[in-house]
Amino acid sequence: MEREGKPSGISEVERAIAEALLRWYETHRRDLPWRRRRDPYAIWIAEVMLQQTRVETVIPYYERFLARFPTLQDLAAAPLEEVLKAWEGLGYYARARHLHEAARRLMEERGGEFPRTLAEWRRLPGVGPYMAAAILSIAFGQDIVALDGNAIRVLARLFAFDQDPRRPAGRRQLQQRAERLLPSGQAGAFNQALMDLGATLCTPKSPRCPECPLRAFCAAYAQGNPEAFPVRAPRRMLPHYDVTAGVIEADGRVLIAQRPLQGMLGGLWEFPGGKVEPGESLEECLQRELREELGIEVEVGEPLLTLRHTYTHMRITLHVFRCRIRSGTPQPIGCADVRWVPIAELDRYAFPRTDQRIVEWLRQEGSSSLTRQTTGRSRT
Ligand SMILES: Nc1nc2c([nH]c(=O)n2[C@H]2C[C@H](O)[C@@H](COP(=O)(O)OP(=O)(O)OP(=O)(O)O)O2)c(=O)[nH]1
Ligand SMILES: [Mg+2]
């Protein structure tokens, strides 16, 4: 993975491309909070957050996170629950768990000193090739190309690149062509300039080519079809699951369960339930799941909400029902923990993003629907 020496024989055109790009960046660079700091810690946090989340969403989280955990030491010393809580709503919670684990390792194994090589960064949990390259180029000024999705799009268009850069072979080739453009000593600016260009002008749809500093060099523009790049293999269909979840209320408290610490959304709290099995009705599923996970028998009441969400590898439709316990006391059989929590205190727990809509709904509608339920029951 280490970058080889800079290829010789850089052409005039390649030099001109880098110059035009850097000149544009000087005046058009986005003013982003992590660009006001140079320390690897801040850059690292930003890169982790930006990995799967849009810049506008990241900004407030980033600022809160750095205020809450200003240094590597603070992050390493914090309990995981607190880190997950600060991450709540950003999604892809493995990022937060990895970040926390990496911070602890950096403190324990390196006395808090950040690595200076790609290989060492890559050994940390959650750090891939792009992130390692971004941190080393931006925070340490090393001559390394770091291509995020935006930069890849810019380059694929610039070269009218005929391979899919999401495939390893295409990716490697695009990386090599980018390395030929990289001006020594300016990798941080070069990488971020490509990212900004992709984010602001060279957008997936309707790129603003007339304003682009690279237009004169752009092969896709010359062909008149920039939107055709990067070429992509057809998107694979994500599997879909119907999932049920139960809201069980008693004495002003609602029952929540903590997901097993390992695995998807590990350690987050949820309204207990699970995937519908073939041939099962939603009600049957919920009764089975609550029996399996909590050891209770329930009566399934009114449907409260139907929520759709797409995770990286699957889509779910979450069917939320009010439930009432018929027999048994909830125990953490198929989950890490169970708690009865007042609705007003639910926001102290870290939930998956979809569940925040349930929490929000409970806060606003909870009492009125409780009244409806009571009325319903008196009719029977
Ligand atoms: N039960 C439940 N699942 C939720 C909630 N919010 C949310 O995103 N989910 C997602 C997480 C899971 O990917 C999926 C539920 O599947 P699960 O892993 O609990 O499935 P399951 O109990 O049937 O267990 P398994 O068959 O996967 O072992 O729905 C929620 O509040 N309750
Ligand atoms: Mg479950």
Q: Which ipTM value was assigned to this complex?
A: 0.95
Q: Please give the distance, rounded to the nearest whole angstrom, from the Cα atom of residue 237 to the centre of ligand 1.
A: 20
- What does the buried/exposed string (b/e) look like for 157-182 if buried means 16 or more CB atoms within 10 Å of the residue's CB? bbbbbebbbeeeebbebbbebbbbbb
Q: What is the pLDDT of residue 7?
A: 53
Q: Which of 5-9, 75-79, 264-268, 273-277 has the lowest mean pLDDT?
A: 5-9
Q: What is the pLDDT of residue 372?
A: 43
pLDDT for 205 beyond 90 = yes
Ligand 1 in reach of 308 Cβ (< 6 A): no
CA distance 288 to 280: 10
Residue 278, annotated ligand binder? no
Q: Atom 21 in ligand 1: which residue has the minimum CA distance? A: 274
pLDDT tens profile 233-243: 666 688 999 99
Ligand 1 in reach of 304 Cβ (< 6 A): no
Q: What is the pLDDT of residue 375?
A: 36
Q: Please give the distance, rounded to the nearest whole angstrom, from the Cα atom of residue 62 to the centre of ligand 1.
A: 28
The atom of ligand 1 lying closest to the CA of 334 is: 22
Range(s) of the chain covered by CATH 1.10.340.30:
12-228
pLDDT for 148 beyond 60 = yes
pLDDT for 320 beyond 80 = yes
Residues 290-316, mean pLDDT to the nearest whole number: 95
pLDDT for 378 beyond 80 = no
Range(s) of the chain covered by CATH 3.90.79.10:
240-379
What would the CATH number be for the domain defined by 12-228? 1.10.340.30
CA distance 33 to 11: 36
The conformational region for residue 15 under phi > 0 = left, psi -120 to 50 = alpha, else beta, is: alpha
Residue 12, annotated ligand binder? no
Ligand 1 in reach of 318 Cβ (< 6 A): yes
**With contact defined as beta carbons under 8 Å apart, do 164 and 155 qualify?**
no
pLDDT tens profile 155-184: 999 999 999 998 888 999 999 999 999 999
3-class DSSP assignment, residue 192: helix
What would the CATH number be for the domain defined by 240-379? 3.90.79.10
Catalytic positions, written as ranges? 47
CA distance 356 to 352: 7
In this prediction, what percent of the chain has a pLDDT beyond 70? 93
Residue 273, annotated ligand binder? yes
Ligand 1 in reach of 275 Cβ (< 6 A): yes
